[in-house]
Amino acid sequence: MLRTPGPLTLLLATVLFTATACSPDEAPPAAARPAEPDAPAQAPTPAQVTIGGQDEAETVQRWQPPAVQIDDAGVAQARRDAAKAFESGRLYEDATAALPIWLALLERDPKDRQAQAGIKRAKEQLLDEIAALLVRPLRQREAVAKAGEMGLVLLTLDPEDPRVRALQSRVELAQRVIAYNRAGEEDLRNDRIGEDGDGALPNFREALALAPDNERARQGLAASESALIRRAETAARAADFTGAGVWLAEAAKVRDSAPTINDAFERVERIRADTLVRLRDEGLRDLTSAQGLKPARQKLEDALRIAMPGDPVVAQLRERIELVTHYGSFRPGQVFSDALRDGGRGPQMIVVPHGGFQMGAAEGEIGASDAEKPAHYVRFDRGFAMAMTEVTVADFRRYVQASKARPRATRRGHSTVYDERSGNFMLRSGVDWQSGYDGSLAMANAPVMHVSVRDAEHYAMWLSEQTGRYYRLPSEAEFEYALRAGTSGRYPWGDEGTPPKGSGNFTGGDDVSPSGRRWFNAFVGYGDGWWGPAPVGTFEPNAFGLHDMAGNLSEWVADCWHASYRRAPADGAAWFNPGCRQRVIRGGNWANAPEQTRAAWRQSQDSDTTNARIGFRLVRGI
């Protein structure tokens, strides 16, 4: 069985040289010549020798000197030809080169000193040339191939010389290094980098194991690292940052502390950042279209998949989607007013945040009635805009004048007012929406009163026509949610019985009427400075930015009256039955008992009711 020899076999092999001598019957030539003068000179083909072992045979190459025939008359010329060939650097290539001639001379006369000296000089020359070829930085493959060819010549000349053996080992080592490098480069061309143990990286590492300073193998490792980095960047551009991280980790294993890895990591992170910015911007553009919420959410999902935790760009998109989901084009706490077609402005609105709350009175709450129970959870999945104050006399006047409306008290010719002389509420003729709590002319910035629930609904319809937006009375759940503004106590300000100073217009024990009257049932120690309703916005707003939710005037809401909350809507919608006569008012006022200022308080009123203690405000969808 034949196989390629290993370096030790080549080093230990003794290659026998056999020269072809002239036949004694042939006519001697005038000088050294090839064995067949009529045939063109050919480069010698390396011969082979088989070396036997106990279990195998190895076939190795050796140099076979071209045959040269020299007769007695041609010895001097042959010596001159050999010297000339040596000087021109032709040592072994064909029958006219120096070594074949000298070897032929030595075969003819083993004591030929000139031939012996020439062979010695040629050997030294070959040793020098091989050493120079092995360190040549460029065209290494050609250089090592040439060195290998020369090495075979030296093995023929002097196989036992330690220098020859050492140099031949270097040649073989260089050949193996080149073979590994070539295999690695071929793998790289075919994108077999070898991160799995089979490809370019193992080949270049084998080359460096043989020759730690081999620049070509080092460059191969660097090229393999670059190929892995390219894979990482390609994955990153495809938004596969998990894959990009895997390829970067593999690239980091190629060379210790390579600065290129840090640079590549920064490039991948820039790609990540640019991708997130692109997704955010595209998502924000989606949100400007009517049906853009779904594609924007897909952009957010894509961004979350590739972003690092806490990325601020993704947080911006998430926040905007949340806002659009719950507030459309608005944001919580935003204040606005819609333009009217006649050139004016509608009531000032504020966006109430979405959320949930426990509606109604808790079991055991002091002063609570069965109509306020059972307490139940209500959630608003979308925010809504609510008027910051009660509708004013000036707001209502614009509606009446523009629509030529005749509100209920105007048609009826009377309404219920507070009578200072008796200290009671009583009917008085000539009172309508233009009147104050005592029947006198109301100020423009006073909350409008003496209006029925239908008057309030007609105003909302007119305002909707004027603005192109949908205005309506708040649902009972919306009102209580806005009144509580995140609290859960008995009163809008908590469980304490006395309101904080300046918190609203309530029945205070320190309030005094124009004639010196005081409230019989009032918050002890509280005074707000007003006997009767105050101008809207006089007192501090609650946490949602709304004024007078718990005081000033009680307010109409959209719901029909139900004696309890059993089967009440859980989504905050108005509980309305078409044609119902009994409606609901919510929120305390300037002239009611402290128990009626509780957050859960509610009361039934006939839909035609008008008096000096009931007004209204509107909400708008967003």
Mean pLDDT for the stretch of residues 568-585: 94
pLDDT reported for residue 500? 93
pLDDT reported for residue 405? 97
- What whole-number percentage of the chain has pLDDT above 70? 90
With contact defined as beta carbons under 8 Å apart, do 272 and 305 qualify?
Answer: no
| pLDDT tier, 139 (very low <50, low <70, confident <90, very high otherwise) | confident
- Rounded Cα gap, residues 454 and 410, in angstroms: 13
| pLDDT tier, 61 (very low <50, low <70, confident <90, very high otherwise) | low
With contact defined as beta carbons under 8 Å apart, do 313 and 307 qualify?
Answer: yes
- Show the tokens assigned to 599: 């957050």
Mean pLDDT for the stretch of residues 41-54: 39
- Rounded Cα gap, residues 478 and 549, in angstroms: 12
Range of weakest confidence among 59-68, 164-173, 196-205, 403-412: 59-68
pLDDT tens for residues 307-336?
999 999 999 999 999 888 888 889 899 999
3-class DSSP state of 428 = strand
pTM score, two decimals? 0.63
Q: What is the mean pLDDT of the chain?
A: 88
- Rounded Cα gap, residues 211 and 595, in angstroms: 96
Mean pLDDT for the stretch of residues 585-597: 96
- The superfamily (CATH) of domain 349-397+452-620 is paralog of FGE (formylglycine-generating enzyme) (3.90.1580.10)
pLDDT reported for residue 172? 87
| Domain limits, the chain | 7-159, 270-327, 349-397+452-620
In sequence order, what are the residues at sequence separation of 6 or more whose Cβ sits closer than 8 angstroms to the Cβ of residue 315?
none
Residue bearing the bigger pLDDT, 247 or 30: 247
Residues forming beta bridges with residue 379, ordered by sequence position? 356
pLDDT reported for residue 342? 86
With contact defined as beta carbons under 8 Å apart, do 597 and 367 qualify?
Answer: no
Which element (helix H / strand E) includes 357? strand 355-359
Strands 57-62 and 376-380: unpaired
Range of weakest confidence among 42-51, 93-102, 396-405: 42-51
- Show the tokens assigned to 553: 């005037």
Mean pLDDT for the stretch of residues 338-343: 92
User: At residue 120, does pLDDT exceed 50?
Assistant: yes
pLDDT reported for residue 14? 29
In sequence order, what are the residues at sequence separation of 6 or more whose Cβ sits closer than 8 angstroms to the Cβ of residue 113?
none
| pLDDT tier, 196 (very low <50, low <70, confident <90, very high otherwise) | confident
pLDDT tens for residues 476-515?
999 999 999 999 999 999 998 899 999 999 999 999 999 9
Mean pLDDT for the stretch of residues 182-195: 92
Q: What is the 3-state secondary structure (H, E, C) of 360-394?
A: CCCCCCCCCCHHHCCCEEEEECCCEEEECCCCEHH
